[in-house]
Chain A
Amino acid sequence: DTAVSQTPKYLVTQMGNDKSIKCEQNLGHDTMYWYKQDSKKFLKIMFSYNNKELIINETVPNRFSPKSPDKAHLNLHINSLELGDSAVYFCASSQWAGESNEQFFGPGTRLTVL
């Protein structure tokens, strides 16, 4: 059973398009995250939701909009894609939003913008 799943695994699209990435966790966790990993492998937090409420909103272009329909799902919608958006996007979850929580990562979505 996959704990944190993401779809799609690969996404190739043209500049200017709008796309969504979906994430689901079956761990019963309260908190979910989106990370961006660039070509140099740097992992940067983008957003975090705790029980469907946004709790971390880093400096990310407002073309990126997260949506959490319930605490098991956190989707990421990206408008007007740019070349610089090419990266691997990881969804993660943790039991709650406290300090001492390991995070479980999904397999990642490799986004390529042409």
Chain B
Amino acid sequence: GQQVMQIPQYQHVQEGEDFTTYCNSSTTLSNIQWYKQRPGGHPVFLIQLVKSGEVKKQKRLTFQFGEAKKNSSLHITATQTTDVGTYFCAGTRGAGSYQLTFGKGTKLSVIP
């Protein structure tokens, strides 16, 4: 079945440092979504990428979708304590399958 791998599992950064999490799929994806889950909270949708090579920005967050549509990354510039949480990527295989397969997430801790 489709697998979505995400690394690293944990990342501790000093406030102001950059952070990147990577997502890789065993199969070509139709689209990829990113979610953020704050401690004790629920996943909240951040963004969706659909096109090969697509890059989208949300303030300090930059999302990329690989040319082959099998990998993606989320980069946060100058982390803040409000960025703390677990970031999940989730992919859809397409071809009639609309099931979202989640990566295991990257837990970000920001040291003030």
Contact = CB atoms under 8 A, between A and B. Distances in A.
Interface of A: 40-45, 48, 56, 90, 92, 97-108
Contacts of B105: 41-43
Nearest to A98: B98
A108 B50 CA distance: 28
A99 B48 CA distance: 11
Q: How large is the interface on B (under 10, 10 to 19, 20 to 34, 35 or more residues)?
A: 20 to 34
Contacts of B88: 43
Given A41-B107, A107-B42, A108-B42, A102 B102 contact: no
B99 A104 contact: no
Interface string B63-91: 00000000000000000000000101010
B100 interface: yes
B33 interface: yes
A43 to B, nearest CB: 4
